[in-house]
Amino acid sequence: MDETARSAAQPGSAPDGSPPVSYISYEEFGRRFLEYAASEARISGAFTQLTGAAFDFGPIGVGPARLAKVTARVQLGEPRLHRYLDDVISFELVIPLDLDMLIDLAVDRHRFDVDGTIHLHLTVRTAEPLRVLIDIAEPRSGNVRINVATATKRGQLLRILASVDHEIRRFVARYIATEIRKPHIAAARDIDVATRLDAAWTL
């Protein structure tokens, strides 16, 4: 062990004369700081406004000649977050969703019950001069997983012919992409450590 590492590992007296403290290396301090700054509670808090959110889409034309019209009411559930503490700190955010969907063929209508999840991958980054950034991969239709239920075989066939699943995934992904760019989420994803330290020092 070199002299720097040995001195970092040994306990010493605190500057104010209080009981001895255990020193840690700068590297260990940085890692602990990142894990604390990017806690599950802190990241979850950035997405609380998505919990219970509801939105509509459609009517949009689907299928051959876009003759069928799809409308839906989408309800988001409470997000679930899991943190991975590897070489890079990352998160998997899963947002449940339920849809009440209607396909209108003019001559008849078919209603579908849809449930599923939206999967987002977040990565903790460090940037100059002294910032912690939560990078979110752009949501794609592949990040939206759904299960569609209908009571009739005709409705099931229509759903396949009209590529309804693809349209749902594409629309939901686009909605979530817009939401995560909003100021309250963007602010929670950018922790300017230097600015906050300067403000605390002034106080």
Q: Measuring CA to CA, which residue among 83, 147, 146, 94 is closest to residue 118?
A: 94
pLDDT digits (tens, 9 = 90+) for 137-171: 999 999 999 888 776 777 677 677 667 788 888 88
Residue 168 sits in the same domain as residue 94: yes
Determine which of 5-14, 15-24, 39-48, 115-124 has the lowest per-residue pLDDT on average.
Answer: 5-14
User: Mean pLDDT for the chain?
Assistant: 83
Residue 117 sits in the same domain as residue 196: yes
In eight-state DSSP terms, residue 86 is S
pLDDT at 119 over 90: yes
Residue 92 sits in the same domain as residue 21: no
Q: What is the dihedral of CA 104, 105, 106, 110, to 10 degrees?
A: -50
pLDDT at 189 over 80: yes
CATH classification at residue 94: 3.15.10
Determine which of 5-19, 24-38, 161-175 has the lowest per-residue pLDDT on average.
Answer: 5-19
The span from the CA of 185 to the CA of 45, in Å, is: 9
Give me the numbers of helices (H) and strands (E) for the chain, helices first please. Answer: 7, 10
Residue 17 sits in the same domain as residue 76: no
The token pair that represents 79 in the structure block: 């997000």
Domain that holds residue 170: 39-202
Residue 115 sits in the same domain as residue 78: yes
Which amino acid is present at 136? Answer: I
Residue 87 sits in the same domain as residue 21: no
Whether the Cβ atoms of residue 159 and residue 104 lie closer than 8 Å to each other: no
pLDDT digits (tens, 9 = 90+) for 63-111: 666 777 888 889 999 889 999 998 999 999 999 999 888 888 777 787 8
Residue 66 sits in the same domain as residue 32: no
The span from the CA of 114 to the CA of 168, in Å, is: 10
Three-state secondary structure call for residue 11:
strand
Residue 64 sits in the same domain as residue 114: yes
Amino acid 123: pLDDT:
95
Residue 52 sits in the same domain as residue 129: yes
Domain count, the chain: 2
pLDDT at 11 over 80: no
> What is the chain's Cα-based Rg?
24
Residue 71 sits in the same domain as residue 95: yes
Residue 140's φ and ψ, nearest 5 degrees, are -120, 170
Residue 21 sits in the same domain as residue 50: no
Residue 156 sits in the same domain as residue 193: yes
Amino acid 13: pLDDT:
54
